[in-house]
Chain A
Amino acid sequence: MNMKQTLMAAALTLTLLLPAPALCADQLLWLTDVRPARKTPATEQDHAAGTASAADEVDLPQSESKRLWLRRGDDPLRASYVAADAVAGEMHLLDRRGDRLPLVPGVKTAPFHVTVILEELGFYNAYLVERTVRFDTLRVDIAKFEVLKGTCCKKGIEQEQTRAFHDAELPLELVREHHPDEGLMTRITSGDEVVFTVLRHGRPVAGVPVTLTTQQGWRSIRESGADGRVAYTMLRDYFPSWHEFNRRHRDTFLVSASLEEETGGVYNDTAHRSVRYTTTLSGHYYPSSHDYRSYAWGLGLTLLVAAFGGTAIYLYRRRRVQPFKEVRFDEQA
């Protein structure tokens, strides 16, 4: 048995001996509204129809109820859906008035999911908080998802309905700052600047490393500033051929932040020497309209038609002008 085989055997033994949760202990836990269905690439039919196969994997924006799933892993493309019996945390929903509603997961046989009932238009925050003690460390994982009940048809949306809010009781939280003009159908697109604030019990905290991972695995790590803010420009990582391009294509981004404290204590009769807080927030982004809309072609075509039409009418009118011809009548005749 050579060295390579020895190492592989050791790794296999370790895999078999360690409990499953321990293996993925360092993997991020995050909530998403994308169903655990096999995602097929956009087809030419999707392109022609202007629909997205991915768009069908989520509930409609105006739906009264929305389902959320739990995923584990730091890669939005490959993270696995967590089984219902592998989740020890509790979930709750927070509305903009500060009302908290416990969320009860669905059937145990399926992947973990909850159904959120949304009575009013606007944003809601769904949280899952899971606490476990491993290797003398209390791990507090906080997965957050912004649930939006939106509409394109209603006017007079109050600013309050599009406001971002947080749960001050949580030890660590990421809040996406909403754009001042953000409505109930606003989408983040490639090229947009997205700003997050790291909050510790509702207060901004500086110096926390925040990681943003895009659908294709591009990763950027930045530290929160003095005001707890960290900004990213959402990059473009959707490059299909024109026949496969879909303007409604949606990709997922994942943001995470971690903070460790040397604070000892006991949780569920298990002592720990430190606490590690990890919070995640996922969202979606779409192709920018700059990728498929052209002002130059649009205005150029309009001007061309106007110039050509105007010239044609001018020439047509000139052609119909009769030259002056004097006719004299001889009244004597």
Chain B
Amino acid sequence: MSRLKDAVNGVDLNRFRFWLQLAFFVFLVYGGFFAVELGNQLPTFSCGYNSEGRAGMCYLMSLQHQLAWPWPKLFGVAALTVATGLGVFLLWFAVLNKAWCGFACPLGTLQDWITALRRRLGVRYSRYTQGQFRRLTTIKYLLLALALLLPLGIGGGMLSKDLRTPFCDICPARMIIPTFTGNFSHWTIDFSTKTAMAMSALGLIVTGLFFIGAFVKKRFFCFFCPMSALHYLFSRLALLRLRKDGAKCTRCGDCYRVCDMEIREIADEVDRPQIMMDDCTLCLKCVASCPEEGALKATFAGIPIFESTERGFVKRMNKP
């Protein structure tokens, strides 16, 4: 048991994560071709517009559709359907917590691949200042609020039905993920109505920014992702958690330097054991980069499954 624990704690996390991300990507983008159907409540961007290949559907899409139901229906018997959908979403989410972002999300994986390309090309990456970070991190909550309120406005007869899935309209996954299965139909501007034209144009602008942003900034889009905001609202219910033992932390800052999301609290916070912040993708790079025994650890239902060790740190540092 001790040897297994040492092997896990000494794992080459970057390599493990690369292969796991690739497996999730293939599974979620092409699983539908092998009759995989995980439902419509997945807590990750398994894009619904990838109609043939998807192994399941992103919950934000089905939630927006449901919230656009007419109010008498939504606040009547259909409320049970919405509640059931949320319950299934929470069951999925409870397993991996925000690791859905760090390991499973196809859009997150794509950003990591773009980052790898930048690194190979020798282009340096950008970082936000703390002031920029604080301002940008609130955008995802604003997008989440709009993604939920605009469909509600449709159900109340106040808004155009073309705003039924406002976030999906501007989400780059709508354009990018179906492309991997040969569906290029979303790389278009829809001129059928003014709303459709504005939203499809906005979606393509965001997609252009996605590629440029992801090239110079690690996990660029994750700062603005409303799914990340939705995750954080329920993260306390999840089984997989990130914990920090402040007494063992020397505040060397290694964890902050490797963090793709530039979460400063991971290095500075020494009082709270529950260290996971709203921007965290639970990629566990911070745990892998920490040289202090047990200072950072990932636990599942309270049981440590991966923790920082000096031996693991040295092994990873000495990797050729």
List chain A positions with a Cβ less than 8 A from chain B.
47-51, 153, 155-156, 242, 245-247, 289, 292-295, 297-299, 301-306, 309-310, 313
Contact = CB atoms under 8 A, between A and B. Distances in A.
10 contacts: A49-B161, A50-B193, A50-B195, A50-B196, A289-B188, A298-B200, A298-B204, A301-B205, A302-B204, A306-B208
A87 B192 CA distance: 42
A246 B192 contact: yes
B188 A293 contact: yes
Nearest to A153: B40
A48 B212 CA distance: 33
Interface in B154-213: 160-162, 175, 184-185, 187-196, 200-201, 204-205, 207-209, 211-213
B115 to A, nearest CB: 15
A313 B126 CA distance: 10
Given A305-B209, A306-B208, A313-B216, A295 B188 contact: yes
Contacts of A310: 212, 215
A48 B160 CA distance: 6
B204 A50 contact: no
Given A155-B32, A156-B35, A297-B189, A49 B162 contact: yes
A153 B61 CA distance: 12
Interface of B: 32, 35, 37, 40, 51, 126, 160-162, 175, 184-185, 187-196, 200-201, 204-205, 207-209, 211-213, 215-216
A51 B192 contact: no
Contacts of B187: 295, 298-299, 302
Contact of B211 (A247, A289, A294, A306): A306
Contacts of A295: 184, 187-188
A156 B37 contact: yes
A293 B190 contact: yes
B281 to A, nearest CB: 23
Given A153-B40, A303-B208, A50 B161 contact: yes
Contacts of B189: 293-294, 297-298, 301
Given A48-B194, A156-B37, A305 B161 contact: no
B205 A50 contact: no
Q: Point out which of A302, A303, A304 has the most chain B C-beta atoms below 10 A from its C-beta.
A: A302
A197 to B, nearest CB: 28
A289 B184 CA distance: 13
Contacts of B195: 48, 50
Nearest to B186: A298
A289 B196 CA distance: 13
Given A50-B196, A302-B207, A305-B205, A155 B191 contact: no
Contacts of B207: 302
